């Protein structure tokens, strides 16, 4: 039996922003950005998002500026025709983990990690699919064989996925703050960076499903930043 003969469709989940007048949970967006920044950005780009997009949504202007400044950006040319490195600005887009697609494939066994800017719109099932994928890793059923370097996930087309499970105990410690681990202390791609204040609200459950829910909410906002405004305008039009 090959992995591709088995497939599960993601269940429909009761997202808090799914209602006609329901807004996105901005605390969840902020935590989801934290997950992307610390975990996902090591392999996945979000080239259509700039640091300024975070202002007034998840961060203050000062926080967004601090996040941008921890990133080194190539700029130029200068008066001598040379390129140079400078601290990031809020007008800069999120840094890419790889300089080009070829480098990305070389680092990922030939697979190209997709850009996540619009991933929930690009995948059938939207955030339901992404949530199921993130939480759906399991042992392959008896009789199903996988090539070396692949992992079994019944929600992925073909069920054999090159991406290793991205949420595990160490990730829970880093994002939510485990013993000796100050939550919110890592930068893009896992590099040491500035801390969010506060990193995670007290009482937030440190579970795989919580992390997956938060990153899916962040990805919904990234793909549809006008989400809340669109619903408010719809209400106004309906009243008129």
Domain extent listing, the chain: 28-46+99-141+148-175+202-239, 50-92
Question: What percentage of the chain has pLDDT greater than the value 90?
Answer: 66
44 is in an annotated binding site: yes
163 is in an annotated binding site: yes
Asked whether the predicted pLDDT for residue 196 surpasses 90, the reply is no
59 is in an annotated binding site: no
3-state secondary structure 110-160: CCCCCCCCCHHHHCCCHHHHHHHHHHCCCCCCCCCECCCCCEECCCCCCCE
Whole-number mean pLDDT of the chain?
Answer: 85
Asked whether the predicted pLDDT for residue 192 surpasses 80, the reply is no
Asked whether the predicted pLDDT for residue 205 surpasses 50, the reply is yes
26 is in an annotated binding site: no
Q: How confident is residue 56, by pLDDT bands cut at 50, 70 and 90?
A: very high
CA dist., res. 75 & res. 7, Å (int): 46
Four-way CATH pick for 28-46+99-141+148-175+202-239: 2.60.15.10, 1.10.760.10, 3.20.20.70, 3.90.960.10:
1.10.760.10
pTM of the predicted model, to two decimals?
0.84
Beta-bridge mates of residue 50: 93
């Amino acid at each position: 039996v090959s992995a591709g003969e088995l497939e599960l469709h993601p269940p429909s989940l009761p997202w808090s922003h799914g209602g006609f007048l329901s807004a996105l949970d901005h605390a969840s967006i902020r935590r989801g950005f934290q997950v992307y920044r610390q975990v996902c950005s090591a392999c996945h780009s979000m080239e259509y998002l700039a640091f300024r997009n975070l202002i007034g949504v998840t961060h203050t202007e000062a926080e967004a500026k601090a996040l941008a400044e921890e990133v080194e950006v190539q700029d130029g040319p200068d008066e001598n025709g040379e390129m140079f490195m400078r601290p990031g600005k809020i007008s800069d887009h999120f840094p890419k983990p790889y300089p080009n697609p070829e480098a990305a494939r070389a680092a990922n066994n030939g697979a190209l990690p997709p850009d996540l800017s619009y991933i929930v719109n690009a995948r059938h099932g939207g955030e339901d699919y992404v949530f199921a994928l993130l939480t759906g890793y399991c042992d392959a059923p008896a009789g199903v064989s996988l090539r070396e370097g692949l992992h079994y996930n019944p929600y992925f087309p073909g069920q054999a996925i090159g991406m290793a499970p991205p949420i595990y105990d160490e990730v829970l410690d880093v994002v939510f703050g485990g013993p000796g681990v100050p939550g919110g202390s890592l930068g893009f791609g896992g590099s040491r960076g500035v801390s969010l204040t506060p990193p995670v609200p007290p009482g937030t459950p440190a579970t795989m499903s919580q992390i997956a829910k938060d990153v899916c909410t962040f990805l919904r906002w990234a793909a549809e930043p006008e989400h809340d405004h669109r619903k408010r305008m719809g209400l106004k039009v309906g009243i008129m």
